Amino acid sequence: MLKHVVVPIHRDGWKFVAIFAGVTIGLALLWAPLGWLGLLATAWCVYFFRDPPRVTPTRPDLVVSPADGLIVSIVDVPPPPELDMGAVPVTRIGIFLNVFDVHINRTPIAGTIVKTHYHKGQFLNASFDKASELNERMAIRMVTPAGLTLAFVQVAGLVARRIVCHLVPDQVVAAGEKFGLIRFGSRTDVYLPAGWNALVVTGQRVVGGETVLADGRSTEPARQGLVH
């Protein structure tokens, strides 16, 4: 029961928690009410870097969400040009992470990393579709054991200024494996294999490493949804 209440903190977050705590002590020494504000900020920092365990479905041909957040866009567009995947449009699923979402990124499917490319850019609001092309980002191309190619991209946002990615070419990964994070508010895009349809809809909230975004064995057309 305790492990469901006390969530681990990602290792990259401890230094920020320490900084927030140090500033809080300084503020408290200056003026007690400022210390309480600092304590709230430190609590938020701990919450931001939480790293809860996830249960990932492992059947082949399932694409799981690489991040927690809100589906803000499902469109057919060419893959990122820096990944050399051609110009034929594929389905791109855009996931927006606000500052209260878990920011750990996870691999969407099992396979081998083929290429990574870091692109410097702007810091527009990550909920806008143009952020996928204009913002600072890390793009990753991978191939599945069945030989299918897909891509996923970490996109910096209006507040986020730092993308952390631990993937390298030729690395073999499992579905749902943790590979990095984005500080502090961001977007993660998934470019599905050609011909695959999204099994999520715009406006839906997804859970990183658990929610199935697409199934290569499914013949279901792209889903539609209603807000209730």
Catalytically active residues are 186
Six-digit token string for 111: 């396979």
DSSP 220: P
3-class secondary structure, 214: strand
Cα(91)–Cα(77) distance, rounded to whole angstroms? Answer: 6
By CB atoms closer than 10 A (0-12, 13-18, 19+), residue 9 is: middle
Give the Cβ contact number of residue 37 at 10 Å. 13
Question: How far is residue 21 from each of residues 25, 181, 193, measured CA to CA in Å?
Answer: 6, 22, 45
By CB atoms closer than 10 A (0-12, 13-18, 19+), residue 156 is: buried
Six-digit token string for 177: 């494996």
Cα(129)–Cα(163) distance, rounded to whole angstroms? Answer: 19
